[in-house]
Amino acid sequence: MELGVIGYGSRIRNMIRKLQELHPDCKVTTIVDIRNEFIRENYSELEHVRFYETVEDMLERERPDGLLIGTRCSLHTTMALKVLSTGIPLFLEKPVATTMEDALRLKSGWEQAKSDVVVSFPMRMSRLALLAKEIVDSGKLGTIEHVQATNNTPYGGVYFHNWYRDEKETGGLFLQKATHDFDYINFIVDQEPVSVCAMTSKQVFKGNKPAGLKCADCEEKYTCEESTIHLTGPKKDTWLYCCFAEDTGNEDSGSAIVRYASGMHMNYSQNFIVRRQAGTRGARFVGYKGTLELNFFTSQVKVYMHHTPRVETYDVETGSDHFGGDTELLNNFYNIMKGQARSISTLDHGLLSALMCLKAKQSAETGTFQAIAWE
């Protein structure tokens, strides 16, 4: 299986490494990246790869079995649109769009598409979410009438210290984090979201330090709780900037309430302030008969029955690849390339989640309820 890569970023590089562990017959043969020279010089595993300056040049000369897009977020839509008409299977990183304009362009392109697309939503395919869906679908809890979801992110510094701090690239943190949570919740409840109201705050990661200030150049680098000068590994070269500088973008907390077509609603809250053991991520799915609690940090699913004195606890072996979700997505992508499967994490799912996030952002900016609709 020959792989073409558009944007050889760290996430896609790790996914390709995992794909090759699962399926050793996969090899990267072509790359398009603005850092072609850097990649040639620093990644020995790509010794025989052919490099192109543009996607158009690559597609004119190459016909890989699959393409993977790992550019920065703001380019996901543009690059995907170059691929969809080719019929080549596509693995697309999330978010699939960072603006409403891009989302509408991508939706239009998808309606004419020939390529099957796997969107990088590993949480929907995680062992925890699959177990939760199995229990919900069994009727054990009754119909789901309320969802309470939380994402307290202990590694939130990534959104303020490196390129993620640029809101033009990220589209805001609903699109960076909630896009996963909205998707796995949609997957489990299997209901249509129809409206959203939301609020965001920026209370901590703001300040009057000079724009572009790096931690290494700050006079408080040895006393600041957020200083990155002692980091090692990949973070050392990317977590460079002061998160209290005047050019630090992104909200540091946000909440949304989503109404579904049945009348059921979901409330979701995320923040990027907590550290260490204060981190948690998961949701409670409440029916009349029982409540299911999914906790990604403890790798547990619990079922609390409402009318019998019983609590069921499931300890799930999740692995380090997004709780088993990356493996499911990559196996699916491989089988699509072989002509033996269709996507289990489609561009329809990616577009719906992006639309929910964009409408939540619009709601927070305007103080209004927003219909989750393309009109």
Supply the angle between the helices 100-111 and 76-83 in degrees, to the nearest 10: 10
pLDDT for the residue 233: 87
Whether the pLDDT of residue 252 is over 90: the answer is yes
Q: Is-cis flag, bond preceding 210, omega within 30?
A: no
The predicted-structure confidence for 191-235, as pLDDT tens digits, reads as follows 999 999 999 999 999 999 999 999 999 999 999 999 999 999 888
> Residue 197's beta-bridge partner residues?
257
> Which pTM does this prediction carry?
0.96
> Residue 70's beta-bridge partner residues?
none
Q: Is-cis flag, bond preceding 89, omega within 30?
A: no
124-320+354-371 carries CATH number 3.30.360.10? yes
By percentage, how much of the chain surpasses pLDDT 90? Answer: 95
Cα distance between residue 239 and residue 227, in whole Å: 9
Question: What architecture does CATH give domain 2-121+326-346?
Answer: 3-Layer(aba) Sandwich (3.40)
Residue 245 is encoded by which pair of tokens? 């500088």
- DSSP code string of 296-308: TTTTEEEEEESSS
Q: What is the rounded average pLDDT of the residues 159-173?
A: 95
Containing 334, the helix (H) or strand (E) segment is helix 325-337
Q: What is the DSSP letter of 324?
A: T
Residue 232 is encoded by which pair of tokens? 């090692």
Using CA atoms, how far residue 29 sits from 5, 8, 211, 216, in Å, is 8, 12, 40, 38
Domain boundaries, the chain: 2-121+326-346, 124-320+354-371
> Residue 209's beta-bridge partner residues?
245
N-to-C CA span, the chain: 40
Cα distance between residue 171 and residue 94, in whole Å: 12
Furthest CA-CA distance within the chain: 66
Q: Is-cis flag, bond preceding 193, omega within 30?
A: no
The predicted-structure confidence for 320-370, as pLDDT tens digits, reads as follows 889 999 999 999 999 999 999 999 999 999 999 999 999 999 999 999 999
Q: What is the rounded average pLDDT of the residues 173-182?
A: 98
